[in-house]
């Protein structure tokens, strides 16, 4: 419980302007760094999903989760270790086009790392690499000597190996309320 680890926090929410501020504030209060953040649609219509990565202890993550779930527009939040999730990040490298022909090594790097070329024009080309942070960092290290015009990496996205019972939870809530309304 007292060992620091990377935890992926998945938060299912309603759409509301300002909710990101509310959630990030919970980490800010405790002076915790958010290592990565990604906001997207989820498997349920009109339900959004925040995916955060933090490097804290399990006790801390449990306390933070309680305070996240307390927010009115948060439907449910979960936390998982790296072992419990399938996760990936995505990176783009923008590189001068001339290098693609002058430096054959670049083609090898792309091939060996299973990266792919997204676009090529006369000035630059763009490599996309998805995978673990270490894999992206390796590509970055290898390409750096040739000159990277731009680099960007996304936050982690992750799905869990076990089921997150968010759909059934939502269904249960809906049913409960329907029943209550029917009674009233």
Partner 1 sequence: MDVKTIDIKDTKTTTMSGSEALVHCLVAEGADLIYGYPGGAIMPFYDELHKHQDKLRHVLTRHEQGATHAAQGFARVTGKVGVAVATSGPGATNLITGIADAQIDSTPMVCITGQVGSHLLGSDAFQETDIIGISTPVTKWNYQITRAEEIPEVLAKAFYIARSGRPGPVLIDITKDAQFAEFEFSYSKCEYIRSYTPVPQITETSLKEAAQLINTAKKPLIVWGQGVILGEAEKEFQDFVEKSGIPSAWTILGVSAIPTEHPLNVGMVGMHGNYAPNVLTNECDVLIAIGMRFDDRVTGSLDTYAKQAKVIHFEIDPAEINKNVYANVAVLGNSKESLSKILPLIEKREHTYWHQKFKDLYEIEYSKVIKNDITPTKEGLTMGEVVAQINKESNSEAIIVTDVGQHQMIGIRYASFNKSKSNITSGGLGTMGFALPAAIGAKMGAPDREVVAIIGDGGYQMTIQELGTILQTKAAVKIVVLNNEFLGMVRQWQQLFFDKRYASTDMVNPNFCKIAEAYDIEAQKVTKREDLAAAVHKMMASPDSFFLEVMVEKEDNVFPMIPTGASVSDIRLE
Please give the span between the terminal C-alpha atoms of the chain, in angstroms, as a whole number. Answer: 46
Among 121, 122, 161, 181, contact with partner 1 (rule: CB under 8 A): 181
Q: At what angle do helices 104-112 and 133-143 cross, to 10 degrees?
A: 170
Among 33, 62, 98, 168, contact with partner 1 (rule: CB under 8 A): 62
**Cα distance between residue 35 and residue 126, in whole Å:** 25
Least distance (Å) between residue 105 CB and partner 1: 49
**Cα distance between residue 102 and residue 125, in whole Å:** 13
Cβ-based nearer residue to partner 1, 137 or 178: 178
Would you count residue 118 as binding partner 1 (CB under 8 A)?
no
Would you count residue 21 as binding partner 1 (CB under 8 A)?
yes
Q: CB within 8 A of 140, min separation 6: which ones?
A: 91, 93, 148, 151
Would you count residue 172 as binding partner 1 (CB under 8 A)?
no
Q: What is the CA radius of gyration of the chain?
A: 21
Q: DSSP state, 162?
A: S
**Cα distance between residue 8 and residue 178, in whole Å:** 34
Least distance (Å) between residue 46 CB and partner 1: 7
Among 2, 18, 83, 161, contact with partner 1 (rule: CB under 8 A): 18
Chain residues binding partner 1 by CB under 8 A are 13-14, 16-18, 21-22, 25, 29, 46, 62-63, 66-67, 69-70, 72-75, 170, 173-174, 177, 181, 184
């Amino acid at each position: 419980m007292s060992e620091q680890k990377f935890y992926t926090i998945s938060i299912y929410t309603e759409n509301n302007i300002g909710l990101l501020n509310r959630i990030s504030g919970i980490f800010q209060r405790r002076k915790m760094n958010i290592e990565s953040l990604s906001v997207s649609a989820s498997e349920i219509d009109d339900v959004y999903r925040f995916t955060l990565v933090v490097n804290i202890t399990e006790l801390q993550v449990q306390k933070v989760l309680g305070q996240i779930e307390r927010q009115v527009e948060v439907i449910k939040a979960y936390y998982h270790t790296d072992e419990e999730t399938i996760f990936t990040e995505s990176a783009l490298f923008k590189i001068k086009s001339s290098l693609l022909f002058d430096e054959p090594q670049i083609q090898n790097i792309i091939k060996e790392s299973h990266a792919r070329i997204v676009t090529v024009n006369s000035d630059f080309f763009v490599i996309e690499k998805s995978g673990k942070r270490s894999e992206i960092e390796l590509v970055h290290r290898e390409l750096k000597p040739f000159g990277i015009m731009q680099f960007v990496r996304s936050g982690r996205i992750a799905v869990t190996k076990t089921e997150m019972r968010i759909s059934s939870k939502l269904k249960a809530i809906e049913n409960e309320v329907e029943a209550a309304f029917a009674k009233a």
